[in-house]
Amino acid sequence: MIDPSLIESLKSLVEPGKVLTDASSLEAYGKDWTKQFPPAPSAIVFPKTIEEVQAIVRWANAHQVALVPSGGRTGLSAAAVAANGEVVVSFDYMNRILDFNEFDRTVLCQAGVVTEQLQNFAEEKGLYYPVDFASAGSSQIGGNIGTNAGGIKVIRYGMTRNWVAGLKVVTGAGEILELNKDLVKNATGYDLRQLFIGAEGTLGFVVEASMRLERTPKNLTAMVLGTPDLEAIMPVLHAFQGRIDLTAFEFFSDKALAKVLARGDVPPAFETDCPYYALLEFEASSEAVTEAALELFEYCMEQGWVLDGVMSQSEQQLQNLWKLREYISETISHWTPYKNDISVTIAKVPAFLKEIDAIVGEQYPDFEIVWFGHIGDGNLHLNILKPDAMPKEEFFAKCATVNKWVFETVQKYNGSISAEHGVGMTKRDYLGYSRSAEEIAVMKAIKAVFDPKGIMNPGKIFA
Ligand SMILES: O=C(O)CC[C@@H](O)C(=O)O
Ligand SMILES: [Zn+2]
């Protein structure tokens, strides 16, 4: 905890009432969606302007106070958790869309603009912001950039990184930098914008971002296909990708589906029980595309890769099919899951999946294992559910012992121990499985340049 007199000086930097220290605010703003680390911030500060953010960072430098950036706090790696008396900097009051440029198709957002707010704004302009995920209703653009958020349309549109035209940041040294200025072409040396994307607030804070928009997809149509086993999913992807440009290719297991259906608010896709399901989406822009999709469906049935399937016939049915996939994470959060977010290149998915599945089957004989994720991107979400009777600490400790086997396999396949959720605190001890000692040394050197006093989100990414 920091000195109470320091909190008083912090109050002088922002509008009255914009520093909170009451227990419920500390609890709420001190954590994200992870449940491993008890929140313990000293205060929450709510700047309204870039100048206020800069003043807070300079104050933190002067007094050696650690800062934690806070957006929608929907992260899954504890990158936005303040567990050690830090001051949380919330962007809740920097939530305005400032400008729209129709020629460049860019939207200037303050860091606290909620993802859905940007998606809706794009729609009003007849355009589309394509980065999408279940937490779009609360996640903020600044946080999406800090984690380089991915989601369900990466196969077609890429990660948040692809949509950042320009950034304004306050570095850990308290300087304001304007990065890339929305240029499409800018060959003037290092692209510092890219460094701040996925940096989890460890170099500085994103205060404004210019985000690119895209044309609206036409007549999005989804298919849910039941497969006889895990191995059948990738040939289905390959078959469809040979003829159709997919906007999504997701998968989930029967266990994931059962949890979602048990909620009672989503209809099943079809009656046949299958161990695994693929959800794919495409633009049914012409009759020919729809026909090709149906032919591919039949072909996959003939090959024995698909047991049953359905294609959405209306916007409502499209939404319902998506709910089967999008509701999984929130639904299973009831079981305090231990999460893995791992990836390999597409070609390696079948062999990798088989090996990981065997490891977890062997290592977690008594735990319920839920598979789902963005398999079309090579990204698997492996969730281990906590048995109700087992204390949280015991459960997480048991799961951590299995990391060695899972991460050694990830390393063997040249994969990533965190595909899209970031490193934060949950994966910092395992960074070496995905990044070499030399790379980590360079990353730390870069941090020292932007954040010489080490006050920006310390303890995240690096142990
Ligand atoms: O809860 C998870 O493991 C994944 C959350 C999110 O990335 C998703 O794809 O639904
Ligand atoms: Zn995901």
Give me 22's structure tokens. 């009451």
Identify the domain boundary among 67, 90, 113.
90
Q: Are residues 402 and 428 in the same domain?
A: yes
Cβ of 418 closer than 6 Å to ligand 1, yes or no, is: no
- In a domain, residue 448? The reply is no
72-99 residue pLDDT tens? 999 999 999 999 999 999 999 999 999 9
Q: Which has more confidence, 189 or 2?
A: 189
Structurally, the chain folds into a number of domains equal to: 4
Give the residue, by CA position, lying nearest to ligand 1 atom 3.
381
141, 111 Cβ separation under 8 angstroms: yes
- For residue 342, the domain's CATH number is 3.30.70.2740
The best mutation among 381, 386, 426 to test binding of ligand 1, ranked by most ligand atoms within 8 Å of the C-beta, falls on: 381
Q: Are residues 169 and 226 in the same domain?
A: no
Give me 435's structure tokens. 């990044």
What does pLDDT average to over the chain?
Answer: 97
Give me 242's structure tokens. 């040979």
Identify the domain boundary among 193, 215, 237.
215
Cα–Cα separations (whole angstroms), residue 48 to 18, 31, 95, 167, 201? 9, 21, 9, 17, 18
Instruction: Say what the pLDDT of residue 234 is.
Output: 97
Give me 86's structure tokens. 């830090």
421-444 residue pLDDT tens? 999 999 999 999 999 999 999 999
Cβ of 325 closer than 6 Å to ligand 1, yes or no, is: no
- For residue 164, the domain's CATH number is 3.30.465.10
**What are the residues whose beta carbons fall under 8 Å from the beta carbon of 352, sequence distance 6 or more?**
344, 409, 413, 415
Give me 241's structure tokens. 């990708």
173: exposed, middle or buried (Cβ count in 10 Å: 0-12, 13-18, 19+): middle
| Cα-to-centroid distance, 196 and ligand 2 (Å) | 21
Give me 106's structure tokens. 């860019």
213-243 residue pLDDT tens? 999 999 999 999 999 999 999 999 999 999 9
The domain in which residue 150 lies consists of 97-215
Q: Are residues 258 and 310 in the same domain?
A: yes
**Ligand with smallest separation from the Cα of 260:** 1
- In a domain, residue 446? The reply is no
- In a domain, residue 116? The reply is yes
- In a domain, residue 367? The reply is yes
Q: What is the ipTM of this complex?
A: 0.99
Q: Are residues 83 and 39 in the same domain?
A: yes
Identify the domain boundary among 61, 90, 119.
90
| Cα-to-centroid distance, 222 and ligand 1 (Å) | 19
The best mutation among 77, 325, 327, 329 to test binding of ligand 1, ranked by most ligand atoms within 8 Å of the C-beta, falls on: 329
The best mutation among 260, 325, 372 to test binding of ligand 1, ranked by most ligand atoms within 8 Å of the C-beta, falls on: 372
Give the nearest ligand 1 atom to 333 CA. Answer: 1
Sheet of 176-179: strand order equals 97-101, 106-110, 204-212, 164-171, 176-179
Cβ of 329 closer than 6 Å to ligand 1, yes or no, is: yes
Please say whether the dihedral angle defined by the alpha carbons of residues 404, 405, 408 and 414, taken in this order, is positive or negative.
negative
What average pLDDT does this structure show over 382-404? 92
Tell me the one-letter amino acid at 119.
Q
| Cα-to-centroid distance, 307 and ligand 2 (Å) | 25
- In a domain, residue 286? The reply is yes
Give me 34's structure tokens. 């992870």
| Cα-to-centroid distance, 435 and ligand 1 (Å) | 23
Nearest to 306 by CA among 358, 251, 378, 247: 251
272-286 residue pLDDT tens? 999 999 999 999 999
Q: Are residues 316 and 343 in the same domain?
A: no
Nearest to 223 by CA among 171, 283, 138, 304: 283
Q: Is the pLDDT of residue 247 over 80?
A: yes
| Cα-to-centroid distance, 292 and ligand 1 (Å) | 30
Cβ of 339 closer than 6 Å to ligand 1, yes or no, is: yes
Three-state SS for 343?
A: strand
- In a domain, residue 463? The reply is no
Give the residue, by CA position, lying nearest to ligand 1 atom 7.
151
- In a domain, residue 171? The reply is yes
Element (H, E) at 326: helix 315-326
Strand spans (E) along 257-306: 276-283
Give the residue, by CA position, lying nearest to ligand 1 atom 6.
329
Give the nearest ligand 1 atom to 374 CA. Answer: 9
Report how far residue 81's alpha carbon sits from residue 37's, in angstroms, rounded to the nearest whole number: 7
- In a domain, residue 450? The reply is no
Q: Are residues 319 and 354 in the same domain?
A: no
Q: Are residues 341 and 432 in the same domain?
A: yes
Q: Are residues 304 and 228 in the same domain?
A: yes
| Cα-to-centroid distance, 383 and ligand 1 (Å) | 9
Q: Are residues 366 and 351 in the same domain?
A: yes
292-329 residue pLDDT tens? 999 999 999 999 999 999 999 999 999 999 999 999 99
Give the nearest ligand 1 atom to 151 CA. Answer: 9
Instruction: Say what the pLDDT of residue 445 is.
Output: 98
Give the nearest ligand 1 atom to 150 CA. Answer: 7
What average pLDDT does this structure show over 387-391? 94
Instruction: Say what the pLDDT of residue 36 is.
Output: 86
Instruction: Say what the pLDDT of residue 33 is.
Output: 94
Q: Are residues 181 and 209 in the same domain?
A: yes
